[in-house]
Amino acid sequence: MKAVTWHGKRDVRVDDVPDPQIKEPNDAVIRVTSTGVCGSDLHLYEVLGPFMNEGDVLGHEPIGVVEETGPDVTHVKPGDRVVIPFNISCGHCHMCGLELYAQCETTQVREQGMGAALFGYTRLYGQVPGGQAEYLRVPQAQFGPIKVPDGPPDERFLYLSDVLPTSWQAVAWAEIPEGGSVTVLGLGPIGQMSARIARHLGHRVIGVDLVPERLEMARRHGVEVIDASDADDVADAVRQLTGGRGTDSVIDAVGMEAHGSPGAKLAQTLTGLMPGNSAAPLMSRVGVDRLAALTTAIDTVRRGGTISLSGVYGGMTDPLPMLQMFDKGITVRMGQAHVKRWIDELMPLVADDADPLGVMDLATHRWPLEKAPEAYEMFQKKRDGAIKVLLQPGT
């Protein structure tokens, strides 16, 4: 089959790889019909290369049709249309019982000291072949696959794999008071959907970005926006809009590759130039992130407010402004999304023909799988108005 594979920094290719097979009784194999390119994939394209092996299959946002199931898989069958959550969880361990599916004890990658395995995402998370491919083997398929109706286009349901649960959790973790306010830093796919969900729940939303197309998309969905390229101080601009106080909550949807941290950028770049067997241990022990977004969040949130981190961070020795955080009494919540925890709340919204979250207004590009290298480059460089790119095997 054809699959998108990693070959080095800024080097992804579409290769022929072996077709996936049922290996365990609780496996399934799906034929992928659409799959997203995620902002997290760009971390693999750039700074997380030391944790990759050449030929790793990328991608963790697939929707498709069940082709085959193992004997222990009974809730889906061949021919069913399914979305696959990006984290792999069993549904019956202690952590799954707490609905902390991203910490599943059955699939935890203990040799790396990490949580549940993820599709297409480095040795840190189990090196499981991902969903930017024509076919995908799904472990723990007795629990993971989410059955969705036939008929509507893939985009109505595709984002249940990652974007929507991550965004819903970002808003839930932000603990915005009733009728309260939230600043969303970064208006990529997660920021866009976080902003729309917060608006849907009745909150005031201020979105921050510096890409004109992202700002315009947010405006279309009723979000107040601040162009970071025009603001001398984003936190001060937010305070000016909130009576000098700041918003009740802040969602950081940017993460470790934020602009404005030149020292950490240099450290990431130098580490990325090292051989993988040297760079990975160094990043694991002393890696640093570009913390501009997080420090902006700390400055922006009101005293006693909450910061919700949905952007990916990977540093081990990040310097945080603890005095400011302690003095302001800030709560910080973070972590990978517990996808299936939020599906019951999201499914009625994506199934609604009125499209209250605007899922049909997110993808800006829909390309064949073979064009993945161009898609990654365009998305990474924010060219051609790219906000969300979908790859469609077989087109």
What are the pLDDT digits (tens) for 105-140?
A: 999 999 999 999 999 998 999 999 999 999 999 999
The verdict on 169 and 130 lying in the same domain is no
Q: Where a domain ends, among 285, 314, 334?
A: 334
Q: Tell me whether residue 23 is in a domain.
A: yes
Distance from C-alpha of 252 to C-alpha of 191, rounded to nearest angstrom: 8
What does each C-alpha distance from 146 to 105, 141, 359 come to in angstroms? 21, 10, 17
208: which 2 tokens? 């921050």
**Strands of the 331-334 sheet, one edge to the other:** 224-227, 204-209, 181-185, 247-252, 301-309, 331-334
In three state form, how does the secondary structure of 228-263 look?
CCCCCCHHHHHHHHCCCCCEEEEEECCCCECCCCHH
The verdict on 317 and 367 lying in the same domain is no
The length of the chain is 395
Residue (of 302, 304, 307, 310) closest to 320 by Cα position: 307
Q: Tell me whether residue 159 is in a domain.
A: no
Which position has the token pair 């599709």? 119
The verdict on 115 and 171 lying in the same domain is no
The verdict on 139 and 196 lying in the same domain is no
Q: Tell me whether residue 293 is in a domain.
A: yes
Phi, psi of 305 (to 5 degrees): -85, -175
Total structural domains in the chain? 2
pLDDT at 267 over 50: no
According to DSSP, the residues that pair with 119 across neighbouring strands are 128
pLDDT for residue 62: 98
Mean pLDDT of the chain: 91
According to DSSP, the residues that pair with 227 across neighbouring strands are 209
The verdict on 129 and 202 lying in the same domain is no
CATH of the domain at 20: 3.90.180.10
Residue span of the structural domain in which 293 resides: 164-334
Residue (of 322, 341, 342) closest to 332 by Cα position: 322
The verdict on 22 and 114 lying in the same domain is yes
Q: Tell me whether residue 123 is in a domain.
A: yes
Q: Tell me whether residue 65 is in a domain.
A: yes
Query: Comparing 51-55, 67-71, 181-185, 248-252, which segment has the lowest mean pLDDT?
Result: 51-55
The verdict on 125 and 199 lying in the same domain is no
The verdict on 175 and 292 lying in the same domain is yes
The verdict on 271 and 327 lying in the same domain is yes
Q: Tell me whether residue 384 is in a domain.
A: yes
170: which 2 tokens? 């970002």
Q: Tell me whether residue 352 is in a domain.
A: no
The verdict on 92 and 222 lying in the same domain is no
92: which 2 tokens? 């019956």
pTM of the model: 0.91
Contact 339, 101 (CB under 8 A): yes
Enumerate residues 6+ apart whose C-beta is below 8 A from 369: 2, 4, 14, 35, 132, 133, 134, 391, 392, 393, 394, 395
pLDDT at 278 over 60: no
Q: Tell me whether residue 157 is in a domain.
A: no
Residue (of 28, 13, 17) closest to 134 by Cα position: 17
CATH of the domain at 329: 3.40.50.720
